[in-house]
Structure 1
């Protein structure tokens, strides 16, 4: 789910070649010491190379683009807090807590979005039910053809949320196999770029792509709730029982300025975009108010640019044609306090991964560092995201558990067979509905538990895939 990483890289090259950057090209472009002209020179070849899928071409165009600032991109993903802070500081919005810089990430990412292929949607509008005067929009994108499932070949598959990296690299989990590319390397970034553009799916049997949504989402509206589903041509919702595994489907607002109300890992590019509405194998609705709609908040959309990053896996040995459907309810105009979604992970900082791979039959817990709260406000709609093997994601406020999101697995009747084996998968994550008040100076920690004996990892190409321990939440700042 680190779609922000490729966007950050695309955004940098777009901004350097666009009117957004007004600096003298003879002056340093970042704390790393490169010049704008050297970056613009490489930028002309960068985007075509990424979409070509050619590893060597991507690597060479990246190095050419950053020229004298060759340490810049790796520093964003480095284990060195100082290097990451310096690099992010040169790009972060001036009003972000604890940072200042020459470029607004939200602005350059909006410009970068136009480098991506567009996707139009068909829209049905109905009356809403959550509040008087609310509207409902059902948006259909596609079709997309899922390639037929390939049985294990005996070759080692790529990693899961490790962004295509082989599973031999170790992360910061006490030697636990994190399944990802080594942070702080050009090769790791190239692998990540290939993954996010669909040239290297996270799952060896996956179909991955990223597109700019050219139509569908409402304008000048406040979104109260929404969800995404994979559907057939006739509108039937598809899932594991139909051979369709939703690794993830994520939409993000790359126009809306980002504020880190709770500061996650330093240098984490996830802080550079606003998640919007998404989907996973665990069925859920994303709320920007409470379920009863009484909390005075929502996600305001003016005339924003949205991207959609998706990976789907077909477990049938024949191709399948599918569509993506976004179903949202909104109020016309700006209503209430503006809410935003964010994620925190139980995995350690300094890695490109949000996933980890415990050993078969192992049970245990991982935990994050403490994350500081920067402003007074309220956390709502907290919900974990895990893959098979995970059992719960927990949020601690000042050391006290305030949210436990348990993984609910499907019954045997709903399980799907993979290579002749019975498969029980996560069908839902419990949500913490009660608002959680927080204040500046508080600390938040995320923990995740897993039991690989009770819930074996999902298999693809004959190998177990990664577990995750993410807490998604919505933050509403105090008015």
Structure 2
């Protein structure tokens, strides 16, 4: 995917919301019992607070964006097995579309770490956008953890973090709440000491990234838009795959060499009747083995007659919200 095609939605957001820059402040770290590997360490770091403006503040307060640099609060010289990013109220209760704030996107990058794509051609994706893609969220809520290793805990593959790596985070939230409120961003990580196993790589690929101009929608019923071809450049396993759609989206489907591989379905909820995706299911939980030269395509299915497209109500972005169809892939090469 061309870099500019990935940046476009962020550029649109920047035009209609207040963008805030700064360093992430660590508000606290809590140790928890590990879930993947009993030898691992698990911690939840709380960053913030974020002041989310309510609709009563006027202007473009419904959708807001923050760009943070992160230098503290994460493990160092470690291998991350699993992670989850979320939002919490001041009292520690989770923030979700059901209480008027949902995640448009949270993107995290290890800006020190550079890694090559495991897919060829135009499929550079978000792997090279400012560094290596790390734990984030790309749907309206984030109830599913990011896995960088096998789920049975028998593998020590994971995301490698060096001793002095720096991180950048782009946070884009949509608020339907009437009043301004403070919330915190949380990052739950389970990790092993040292750099162990294969270094898992993550990328975000768009259906429109390989010559497909736009995602098709119709007011009369379901539509399908299929991507161009993405070729794997090495043997490995797709450890995880999760779709990213906006309101109206039904599912993302993956094909390997023209055969069905898995699908990630949208589940709807949202605040006070808002048409928001509450969760995207995982496309695979057991892993998909691929070989060098295998070809992947993906299809985005929308049905706006069933789930109307969300519209922006104010600012330069007033009108129909952006339509997206993406897969977030996590890959570990075979040794």
Q: Compute the displacement of 1:210 (Å).
A: 0.8
Of the three residues 281, 285, 288, the one matched with 2:145 is: 285
Q: Please identify which structure carries the higher helix content.
A: 1
Change (3 A) 1:268 1:293: closer
Instruction: Give the C-alpha shift of residue 204 in structure 1.
Output: 7.3
1:311 aligned partner: 172
Cα deviation digits, residues 258-315 of structure 1 (max 9, x gap): 1111126267665343211112323211010133323341111112111110011110
Rounded to whole Å, the distance in 2 between the matches of 1:387 and 1:278 is 16
Q: Deviations over 1:446-478 (max 9, x none)?
A: 111010011112233074423321111111011
The 2-side partners of 1:372 and 1:265 are apart by 10
CA–CA distance in structure 1, aligned partners of residues 6 and 330 of structure 2: 22
Task: Report the counterpart of residue 428 of structure 1 in structure 2.
Answer: 279
The answer (yes or no) to whether the contact 2:5–2:209 under 8 Å persists in 1 is: no
User: Counting strand residues as a fraction of each chain, which structure ranks higher?
Assistant: 2
Per the alignment, residue 308 of structure 2 pairs with 456
| Alpha-carbon offset, residue 129 of structure 1 | 2.8
Alignment of 1:259-408 (within 5 A): 259-263=116-120, 265=122, 270-272=127-129, 273-279=131-137, 280-282=139-141, 283-303=143-163, 304-349=165-210, 356=215, 358-408=217-267
Secondary structure at the counterpart of residue 117 of structure 1: strand
Following the alignment from structure 1 to structure 2, what is the Cα–Cα distance between the partners of residues 267 and 296?
26
Q: What whole-Å deviation, never above 9, does each CA across 1:146-201 have from its counterpart, x for those lacking one?
A: 11226999xxxxxxxxxxxxxxxxxxxxxxxxxxxxxxxxxxxxxxxxxxxxxxxx
Aligned position for 1:181: none
Aligned to 2:18: none
Quote the Cα distance in structure 1 between the aligned partners of 2:109 and 2:259: 31
Does the CA contact (< 8 Å) of 2:101 and 2:175 recur in 1? yes
Looking at structure 2, the residues matched to 152 and 361 of structure 1 have their Cα atoms a distance apart, in angstroms, of: 35
TM-superposed CA distance for 1:120, in Å, is 2.7
Find the partner of 2:24 among 102, 113, 119.
Answer: 119
Counterpart in the other structure of 1:34:
none
Q: Which residue of 2 aligns with 1:174?
A: none
1:208-262: CA deviations, max 9, x gaps?
Answer: 0211102111001110111111111111101112110211112111111211111
Give the distance between the partners of 2:36 and 2:6, measured in 1 at CA. Answer: 34
CA deviation after TM superposition for structure 1 residue 335, in Å: 2.1
Deviations 1:101-153 (A, max 9, x none): xxxxxxxxxxxxxxx63213232234423112111111111111111226999
SS in 2 for 1:241: helix
Higher relative contact order (CA 8 A, sep 6+): 2
Q: Compared with structure 1, are the counterparts of its residues 268 and 228 closer, same or farther at alpha carbon in structure 2 (3 Å cutoff)?
A: closer
Do the aligned residues in 1 keep the contact of 2:54 with 2:179 (CA within 8 Å)?
Answer: yes
SS in structure 1 of the partner of residue 36 of structure 2: coil
Task: For residue 348 of structure 1, report the CA deviation from its aligned partner.
Answer: 4.1
1:234 aligns with 2:91: yes
Counterpart of 2:295 in structure 1 is 443
CA distance in 2, matches of 1:6, 1:408: 26
The normalised TM-score by structure 2 is 0.85
Match 2:271 to one of 416, 438, 443: 416
389-398 or 256-265: bigger deviation: 256-265
How far the C-alpha of 1:434 sits from its partner, in A, is 1.8
Alignment partner for residue 34 of structure 2, among 98, 112, 128?
A: 128
Structure ID, larger Rg: 1
Q: Count how many residue pairs are aligned between Structure 1 and Structure 2.
A: 315
Two-structure CA RMSD over aligned residues (Å): 3.0
Deviation at 1:425, TM superposition (A): 2.4
Unaligned stretches of 5+ residues in structure 2: 16-20
Q: 1:277 to 1:231 in 2, by over 3 A?
A: same
SS in 1 for 2:286: coil
- 1:470 corresponds in structure 2 to 326
Q: CA shift at 1:333, angstroms? A: 1.2
Check 1:204–1:374 CA distance in 2 against 1; reply closer, same or farther (3 A cut).
farther
Alignment of 1:67-86 (within 5 A): none
Query: Given that residues 219 and 305 in structure 2 are in contact (C-alpha distance below 8 angstroms), is that contact kept between their aligned partners in structure 1?
Result: yes
Asked whether the 8 Å contact 1:120–1:214 carries over to 2, the reply is no
Alpha-carbon distance in 2 for matches of 1:6, 1:332: 37
Q: Distance in 2 between matches of 1:294 and 1:393?
A: 29
Contact 1:344 1:446 in 2 (8 A): no
Gaps of 5+ in 1: 9-49, 55-115, 154-202
Match of residue 106 from structure 2: 249
1:231–1:325: 8 Å Cα contact kept in structure 2?
yes
